[in-house]
Each structure stands twice: as structure tokens, then as C-alpha cells.
Structure 1
Amino acid sequence: MTARILGGGALAAVSGGALAACSSDEPSAGGSTEISPVTFQLGWLANVENMGIYIADDGGYFTKAGLKTTIVPGGPSVSVGPLVASGKAFVGLDSVDTIARARKEGAPLKVVGATLQKNPSAVMSLAKNPIRTPQDLVGKRLGVQQSGTEIYNAFFKANGVDPKSVTYVPVQFDPAPLVNGDVDAFASFLTSQPIQLKRQGVETEAFLLADFGYGLWADAFVVSEETLADKKKRALLVNVLRASVQGWQDAVADPARGAKLAVEKYGKSLQLNADEQLLTAQSFVPLIATPETKTNGLLTMSKEGIESNIKTMGSVGITTSADELFDTTILADVFQGKATV
């Protein structure tokens, strides 16, 4: 799981697509028999976080949509926004706040869909000494990575907690300080450290920041304004999103399939652990398939959700507006008033 999910700061040819290095991507749209090449830039490594995209590729959804999709893994040194803005990638995945910051620096980017409706950022504690709310952290020691301090200051203030009433202990992403008793709680990702400790026999509890007002979508679909303005490219984008939704629908219904593809095909070179990837896949499902997406469709961006993202970004000094950052018309064309495709 990417450390950038909290707040932006974070191989072989396959049927219907490929995992490869980035190349210039100038798609063309034509008749139904024409195949259009597109480069899909992932926001992180080729692990189960991207299982819906793998299924869309492996299941032939991209191909049926007239797309030859090259899936490019990301990583800690990959900046998605510049690749999309320059045309080296047709579409990419990134956190909403990272895209907003890029726009402020002049990048002509827009968000057209959101995979993770609930941000995986969470506060983890030991089950034998659980911490279940922000208020429970008053007087306690919270292990926080340096990149998360600003976020947690804003999070506590939004929940009526004085940040100074919580002792921040600098940590990395290894949860050992929690197990060793050096901290009472640990800034984690619901899809990462709790699973790591579970496999070691350590029982934990965790609460999502998203359940306490932290509205920040992750693995959001980002495209260039030029793509949205070009009729042919926009049509391709609708096809990319439709196939992606189909892949994610299958992944939500059968996360074991997504885990298998990550381990045996798309992330094979990473030598991923099958049991861990399955647990991780299962932990992603409720963050993606929320009551709202069950009503409006996966990747959906409701007015209320957009407003929550804008408010959360505003709390850390990122100012934007719905019209400036988001475009909901692509998903409207994908779903045509339905909740599935």
C-alpha cells in the first residue's frame, strides 16, 4: 500500500494489454473494429491494490472496448500527474490532494473517478488495549510518520481534539513500536499494517479516519484536460472507465480472483505472498463498495463526496473547487443512470 494515500506527499506481455515502461501515448478512436492503444499508469506497485484493473485486462474488458491497454506499475519514485499531463500516460491513478496540488502548479489535470471511496488511512491499536475514536487518543502516544503530522493535526482539530493533547512519536511504517509498547496507537493503513500483524498472530483494532470526517479519495482516475476536450479521446476515456468499472465489479464480487492475478501474473516479479494479498484484497472491498457506490456505481463521485474532499483538503491549506478539479460527466456516460455496467 502506498504511503501517499494518507495525503499525497503518497514485466511480461499479457493478453489484451501489457505491463511495461511508459511510452508516449497518443490514442486514436475510430470504428468498432479499430484498436486504440492507451497507457494506464498505476499509482503504486503491481500488487492487489489494482486488482480491478488486472481483471479488466485479463477478462478482456479493455479489448472488447477496442483498447490495447499497457498497464504501467507505479512506485515511490513515480509521479503520476506529470506522466498524464505530458501525454506519456492516457490515464493514471493518484490521490485527490496530489492532483489538486499539481493543478496549483499549472498541471492541466482533472479527476474523473475515484476507486477508494473510503481512504484506508487508519489509527491502529492492540486489541487488548483498543482505541476506537479520536477522543480516545487524548493523553496517549500516537506513532506518526513525518509525512502524516500535518494531516493528523487537522484531523484532531476537525474532531474537537487539541493536537497537543496527543503525544506524537516519530515512526516509520513498521508497526513494531506498537507491538513493543513504545506507542499506544499507530498511524497505519487498514489494508496494510493490521494485516501484517494479523499474520504474525497479533490482534489489533483500527478506526478509519474516513469515519470521522476525513474525506479524501484515493486511487482516483486522473486525466488531462486536453483528453476531455478532444471528442475522440473523450470517447476512449469513457471506454477505459467502463472497462475499469467492469473489472472492479468482478473484483468486489470475487477478491480471490484479483489476488491470484496479482500474485501469479501482474505482480509476479514482486514475489508477493498469496495469503497476504488475499487478506489485503478482502480489506479493500468495503472501501470500494460503499453504500453510495452500491446505489450509484463504483468509482462514483457524488456532490456530497466532492464537497467532503474539498473540505478535507481545505483543512491542510489546499484550496480548490468542484468545477476546477472534478469532472463527473465521464461516469455519467458510463452508467447511463444505472448502478452497474
Structure 2
Amino acid sequence: MPTTRREFLTATARILGGGALLAASGGTLAACGGDPTDATSAGASPVTFQLGWLANVENMGIFIADDAGYFTKEGLQTTIVPGGPSVSVGPLVASGKAFVGLDSVDTVARARKEGAPLKIVGATLQKNPSAVMSLAKNPIRTPQDLVGKRLGVQQSGIEIYNAFFKANGVDPKSVKYVPVQFDPAPLVNGEVDAFASFLTSQPIQLKRQGIEAQAFLLADFGYGLWADAFVVSEETLADKQKRARLVNLMRASVKGWQDAVQDPQRGVKLAVEKYGKSLQLNSAEQLLTAQAFVPLISTPETKTNGLLTMSKDGIESNIKTMASVGITTSAEDLFDTTILEDVFQGKPTV
């Protein structure tokens, strides 16, 4: 996701799960399937899975994989650790404190530029949830529709929107940027015509308030940046045993996400009642969020190549998008597609 994602989600955490979210996020271990002592004695390999965000439905596929025993069946004793606004995933993976983590593609690319030995081996969100939201009674459906209009945008998102408009043949100066925070009240009050948001957050907030809104994804207009990417250390990829362990973990994760896409309600139940129980998550909000996530995860491409897939075209789109905001990298430097190739063996499901 764009670099504003952590700032945005920190400020809007209550939208997604109730007032206790931020207070409960730091260092709390999510529930894990099975008894750790039994798993170790049975010869399972212990691995730490570091989530990129809180233990809510954004991670429902991983929760299902754990609860259904998919990790255990792959010979893994998996400890799932939630993230939060103060958690940096990359350093935990690079240092070996986490075996695998979920992070944004651009964050990993920047970390590699600074010498972090990290690689991306899979991508959960094939479509970035960054979106432009407008009221249904005055809809804005395309970047071109914003010419001459007022766009509420956070200061940290201006660079992204400048690049986005240029990529779509729109002069950024033809759109009036109005400084906003993260509350969509300026849109509701008519102070702006559109609002920079995330499809999985602020539109849901307004829907819960009975306000009809609509949004278009930046991803549908060339903003190709995957989110919740699986990041591992180069050492893991180079070590034969660790690599085999990683293939097992990715296979179990794919199975969990296959189930979550088919039955989001199952993921909601696990998030609310088990893995995120201490966060006092709201079931209705979590279900709306889960339903918004599904089409971002399950796309025509994943139906052909499998969930978490990283196609050549997708990788090139990510590289192009990052280049538009000054992040230069290459497919060979940042991505490793061989793990998923071993997982799927030429088939779209596992």
C-alpha cells in the first residue's frame, strides 16, 4: 500500500474494530492452533508469522489456515503475531525474529535500498484499496471527473495523487487539493467533492451511518501496488530447509485464503471471537470490511494463476507505480516467484 497506509489506519482503527483496537495492539500474541509443547515434541518446525496490521479480518485467511490446522498439517508450529501502528515488519524479518511478515511493496523496496536483505514472495491484495470516495448523490467515477473539483487529501498523500493524475493525463493543478485529516466529515458537509480514502475503511464508516457513498479504486486506473505482501529474508530463500518450510507455509496460507474468499463470515467469526477477541471487534463492521476485501484479493488473474500470485505483468505494474513516486527497483531485485510456483505446480488452487 502507499506509505500513508499506516498513518491512515492508525487514525481510523476505531472504524474497523471498536475503541479498544489501538490500546490492545501492542505485542499481543494472537491465538494459535494446537498446543505449542505438543507441536514441538511432534517434530513440527516453529515459525513466527508477523502480521502487518491488527488481528482483524484483513488477516482472515491466515486465521482460517491456523484454525483449520493447515499450518500444522504442513509440519509447522506457527505463532501469529499481530502488528499495529508502532510495528515495523521489515526489521523483524531481516533480523530473524519473524520467519515471514506482511508489509507493503513500497516499504520493502525502500528497505532493500537501505541494505535490508528482504524479498517479496507473494501478494495478498492484488488490488490496492486506495480509493477516491464521493457521495452517491454527486458521484465522481474517474480521475477525469475530478478536473475542477475539490479533493480532500491528507498531506502525506499529495505525492501519490500528483503521480496518479499525471499517469492518467490529468494536470494535478486542475484539481483543487483541500487539506483534510482522516474523518470524512468534510465530504458529508459539502466542503469537498471527493475524499482520498481506502475502500475497506471510510466508505464502510459512512455506510454504517446511513450515508450512501461510492468510490473508485486507483488500482483500476493504473495504480498497481500490491498490499499485504509476504516478505522473507534472503537467508530463508538460500537455505534449503528454510525454503522448504516457506513453501509449506505459503501453501497453508493459500488454503486459508481460498476458504476465506469462499466464506468471509467464517473469517469474521474467527477474528471477532478468537484471534482479535481482546480488540472488541464489531461483527457487522468486520463483515462489511471482509466483503470489501474479497474482490481485492480474488481477481480474474488469481482465478487463473492462484491466490497470492505475482504475475510478470503485475510485477511490472508495481515497479512502474513505485517509479512514479521516486522508488526505483527491478523484478529480480525485489521479487521471488519460485515459492508460489512450487506451491501451485501449474494449477490455480491447492
Q: Among residues 173, 180, 193, which one is paired with 1:171 in the alignment?
A: 180
**Unaligned stretches of 5+ in structure 2?**
7-28
Counterpart-to-counterpart distance in 1, 2:93 and 2:63: 20
Counterpart-to-counterpart distance in 1, 2:277 and 2:180: 30
C-alpha contact 2:30 2:276 (8 A) present in aligned 1? no
C-alpha contact 1:140 1:166 (8 A) present in aligned 2? yes
Shift of 1:16: 3.4
Q: Is the partner of 2:214 in helix, strand or coil? A: strand
C-alpha contact 1:17 1:57 (8 A) present in aligned 2? no
Shift of 1:14: 3.3
- The structure carrying a bigger helix percent of its residues is 2
Q: Among residues 70, 81, 89, which one is paired with 2:79 in the alignment?
A: 70
Shift of 1:12: 5.8
Alignment of 1:80 onto 2:77 = no
Q: Among residues 315, 328, 336, which one is paired with 1:319 in the alignment?
A: 328
**1:16-41 per-position Cα deviation (integer Å, ceiling 9, x unaligned):** 388xxxxxxxxxxx9xx620000000
Could you tell me which amino acid in structure 2 is paired with residue 16 of structure 1?
Answer: G
Alignment of 1:181 onto 2:190 = yes
Q: Which residue of 2 aligns with 1:34?
A: 43
Structure-1-length-normalised TM-score: 0.93
Counterpart-to-counterpart distance in 2, 1:9 and 1:210: 15
Q: 1:320 to 1:257 in 2, by over 3 A?
A: same
Counterpart-to-counterpart distance in 2, 1:215 and 1:17: 41
Q: Is the partner of 2:329 in helix, strand or coil? A: coil
Q: Which residue of 1 aligns with 2:2?
A: 6
Counterpart-to-counterpart distance in 1, 2:65 and 2:32: 12
Could you tell me which amino acid in structure 2 is paired with residue 252 of structure 1?
Answer: V
Structure-2-length-normalised TM-score: 0.91
Could you tell me which amino acid in structure 2 is paired with residue 136 of structure 1?
Answer: D
Q: Which residue of 2 aligns with 1:134?
A: 143
Could you tell me which amino acid in structure 1 is paired with residue 3 of structure 2?
Answer: G
Counterpart-to-counterpart distance in 1, 2:82 and 2:251: 21
Please show how residues 243-258 of structure 1 align to structure 2 within 5 Å: 243-258=252-267
Counterpart-to-counterpart distance in 1, 2:303 and 2:335: 21
Counterpart-to-counterpart distance in 2, 1:17 and 1:187: 44
Alignment of 1:43 onto 2:61 = no
Shift of 1:174: 1.4
Counterpart-to-counterpart distance in 2, 1:268 and 1:303: 39
Q: Among residues 1, 8, 16, which one is paired with 2:34 in the alignment?
A: 16
Counterpart-to-counterpart distance in 1, 2:343 and 2:239: 17
Aligned length: 325
Shift of 1:172: 1.7
Alignment RMSD (CA, Å): 1.5
Q: Which residue of 2 aligns with 1:154?
A: 163
Q: Which residue of 1 aligns with 2:294?
A: 285
Counterpart-to-counterpart distance in 2, 1:17 and 1:267: 19
